[in-house]
Structure 1
Amino acid sequence: MRYYFIAGEASGDLHASNLIRELMRKDESAVVRGFGGELMEKAGMQLVKHYRDMAFMGFLPVLLNLRTIKKNFITCEQDLLQFQPDVLVLVDYPGFNLRMAEFAKAHGIRVFYYISPKIWAWKTHRIKKIKAFVDEMFTILPFETEFYRQFDYPVNYVGNPVLDAVQSIPPKQPGAFFKKGNNMPDKPIIALLPGSRLQEIRSLLPRMLKAAASFKTHQLIVTAAPNIPDEVYRELLKGYEASLLQGKTYEVLQQADVAVLASGTVSLEAGVICCPQVVCYRMAGGALFFKIGQKVLKIKWVSLVNLILQRTAVRELLQHQCTVKNIREELEKILNNPAYRKQIDANYRELINRLGEPGASARAASLMVAKLQQKK
């Protein structure tokens, strides 16, 4: 069968790549094409456009790049029709993907959605488009089944692919071996993970660096997003002693005493790896956007760890709260308060238990192939 994938960011690229591998195992005739990243390409997909050309975040960047966004839609629509897949598989990224779902449906192409848009957080009205244009939704968070049920829309809960991704990495290396292999001093690590979008990196990394640099007993490691040029990081790292590593996010989280990270999938990844964390989010607008967000958002937390556990298991520093002082204070607690750290460890054990068994990618692939074969 022929599969067309669309993923618009780094985490989507990772989870879609694992799904593609499983689809190819279960469907020997599988041909995969689409928008995504190098991981999807490595898994066997014919890459049409890289997500680095699609990752616009926030009102102003979207406004300034409307021409590019429109061109991306036209390219995708034309390529989809030319390829004529048995199914369009969408991975999160709702602003782009829901429009493509409508287009595909209008042209008689089946639509599967893997990793639901976060409509339980905001823009709940998108449920109308999902019900109208998405044939099957494959969800990865346990609470999403109940959320969709209230709209009379059955979904396929397959478990969380973060468990698969983390399970696929080698066991933790001895600290000294890891540091020597990466030309680092033999000092404990504070990991800084400022996200995968240029705007959030420029907003968060300077604050992270300034806060973490206070802890002289530790060294700083910044994980680089594959779609961001090294020059961006080098400019921001001027004046700081910090190592920059690319393609080793999980290994860094395994080694770190604590991670300061951008809100997103990486929060859940850190939780599954059991690395204590400080969750950060800050874009233009500060306190005003925070107040607006409180009215617009339908959730109490933004990090997946807290959402799944339904309590504040890890500290979130959002908008005007994301200051050097607040980051530094939270790092101090994690690094120097054994009872506080012990509670975080207990929270992570509960989180892993709630996520269930690994194998989300394989379960999703089996279901997709079965549903496509039923319609033949």
Structure 2
Amino acid sequence: MHIAIVVGEMSGDILGADLMRALKQRYPDASFSGIGGERMLALGFESFFPQDRLAVMGFIEPLKRLPELLRIRKFLRQHYLANPPDVFIGIDSPDFNLPIERTLKEAGIPTVHYVSPSVWAWRQGRIHGIKRSVDLMLTILPFETQIYHEHEIPVQFVGHPLADDFPMDPEMGKARSELGLSEEEHIVALLPGSRSAEVKHLAPVFFEAAAQYAKTRATRFLLPAANEARLEQIQTLLAEFRQTQKDGDDLLIDISLGNSKQLMCASDAVLMASGTTSLEALLLKKPMVVAYKKDWFSAWLTRRLINTPFISLPNLLAGEALVPEILQEDCTADNLARALIEKTRDGEDKERLLQRFYDIHHQLRQDAGLLAAEAIEKMLAQRK
């Protein structure tokens, strides 16, 4: 049994290693090759190229690296056509993996794609190309299966690996103890994003909202910077805010490098940029306010492309407005502070919110690697 896997991101390496362990239980003598990261290599994976050669972001970087990416993809196509694996599994990175999957499927090689592209939200015409490329789609979010059923593409929801990793009951007291924070303090985490543009647009308004919120109750704010560059940027923006605001020096904000999961766990609530971190906040059972603000052109373009009633994962998963989404021109300090006050107020609404978070956590906690391996084994057995 030979299984080909190609991952393009660090998150894909985590999924790939989890899947490899489950597949090895079914096929103890299987060999694995393709492109993988450190976790997969530790399990005996043969990687033809370093995994980070595929890790590109945005629009400009992929264009700069296009010749190299095309050479790598050409090699993989030729290699697996000459040495057909029993199954090819592309994990995420759809723009890179789907064309390989289409070539191999046309040659009769079974193909699987793990982690659905956001075809349900934008560029829905891609579904026809996906149908020509994959024999099985594995989704990590339950609502993603509908569009595949509508187009008669075999699909299996396997759950989200983060839901497997996060405990059902977060250890808030332990997190505070490890961070040297008292049990009595009221704490709010601020997460203005991981990209420079996000921080530029959101950090100043987050600081102002935090100052307004702190007037209603004594609050310590924790702000994890995604990397060294964001740390420096946030420190500069906070210094500017303190200089321009009369009460700026009174605002208690602790800025640190990374560690966002533990800081959120230690907090009573989170004010955050829209992104996958909102799912972590849900799994940590934290009341939250989700915000997003872009330059006017990006906002205009996004509104034309995105076809979904919500942008945050908690609301998409719930199918309702569980958490406030405050976007673009509505993203003001007044609105953010008001929403945060509302969401941290004790009462039936807060209890209902936390119960919905528990329900969604249970729904996502499926043992993703195990279910993915079962679905692949079933697909291969049916083909035989």
Fold agreement, TM-score > 0.5: yes
Task: Name the structure 2 match of 1:23.
Answer: 23
Q: Does 1:244 align with 2:256?
A: yes
Shift of the 316–10 alpha-carbon distance from structure 1 to 2, 3 Å rule, reads: farther
Task: Name the structure 2 match of 1:164.
Answer: 164
Task: Name the structure 2 match of 1:55.
Answer: 56
Deviation of 1:66 (Å): 0.7
Shift of the 50–259 alpha-carbon distance from structure 1 to 2, 3 Å rule, reads: farther
Q: Which amino acid aligns with 2:119?
A: I
Q: Does 1:274 align with 2:282?
A: no
**Residue among 59, 68, 72 paired with 2:69:** 72
Measured on the aligned residues, the alpha-carbon RMSD in Å equals 3.5
Tell me the distance in 2 between the aligned counterparts of 1:159 and 1:26.
20
Task: Name the structure 1 match of 2:222.
Answer: 220
Task: Name the structure 1 match of 2:374.
Answer: 366
Q: Deviations over 1:114-141 (max 9, x none)?
A: 1211111111111111110111111222
| Contact kept in structure 1, 2:88 and 2:110, CA below 8 Å | yes
Tell me the distance in 2 between the aligned counterparts of 1:315 and 1:42.
42
Q: Which amino acid aligns with 2:256?
A: L
Larger Rg belongs to: 2
Tell me the distance in 1 between the aligned counterparts of 2:14 and 2:332.
30
Tell me the distance in 2 between the aligned counterparts of 1:370 and 1:205.
48
Q: Secondary structure in 2 aligned to 1:29?
A: coil
| Contact kept in structure 1, 2:272 and 2:290, CA below 8 Å | yes
* TM-score, reference length from structure 1: 0.79
Deviation of 1:309 (Å): 1.8
Deviation of 1:65 (Å): 4.3
Tell me the distance in 1 between the aligned counterparts of 2:114 and 2:130.
12
Tell me the distance in 2 between the aligned counterparts of 1:55 and 1:292.
22
**Residue among 329, 332, 347 paired with 2:341:** 332
Shift of the 192–313 alpha-carbon distance from structure 1 to 2, 3 Å rule, reads: same
Structure 1: where are the runs of 5+ without partners? none
Deviation of 1:316 (Å): 1.4
Deviation of 1:328 (Å): 3.0
Q: Does 1:307 align with 2:308?
A: no
Q: Secondary structure in 1 aligned to 2:229?
A: helix
Q: Deviations over 1:209-248 (max 9, x none)?
A: 5543653621313153xxxx423323323346433243x4
Q: Secondary structure in 2 aligned to 1:124?
A: coil
Q: Which amino acid aligns with 1:243?
A: I
Size of the aligned set, in residue pairs, is: 361
Shift of the 88–70 alpha-carbon distance from structure 1 to 2, 3 Å rule, reads: farther
Shift of the 350–232 alpha-carbon distance from structure 1 to 2, 3 Å rule, reads: closer
* TM-score, reference length from structure 2: 0.78
Task: Name the structure 2 match of 1:5.
Answer: 5
Q: Deviations over 1:263-313 (max 9, x none)?
A: 3332223212211122233343x3x54455444332111222212221111
Tell me the distance in 2 between the aligned counterparts of 1:336 and 1:179.
25
Percent identity for Structure 1 against Structure 2: 29
Q: Counterparts in 2 of 1:187-202, with a 5 A limit? A: 187-197=185-195, 199-201=197-199
Q: Which amino acid aligns with 2:18?
A: N
Which stretch of structure 1 is more off in the superposition, 106-115 or 194-203?
A: 194-203
Tell me the distance in 2 between the aligned counterparts of 1:164 and 1:254.
16
Task: Name the structure 1 match of 2:91.
Answer: 91
Structure 2: where are the runs of 5+ without partners? 240-252
Q: Secondary structure in 2 aligned to 1:174?
A: helix
Q: Secondary structure in 1 aligned to 2:354?
A: helix
Deviation of 1:362 (Å): 0.9
Tell me the distance in 2 between the aligned counterparts of 1:262 and 1:44.
38
| Contact kept in structure 2, 1:4 and 1:34, CA below 8 Å | yes
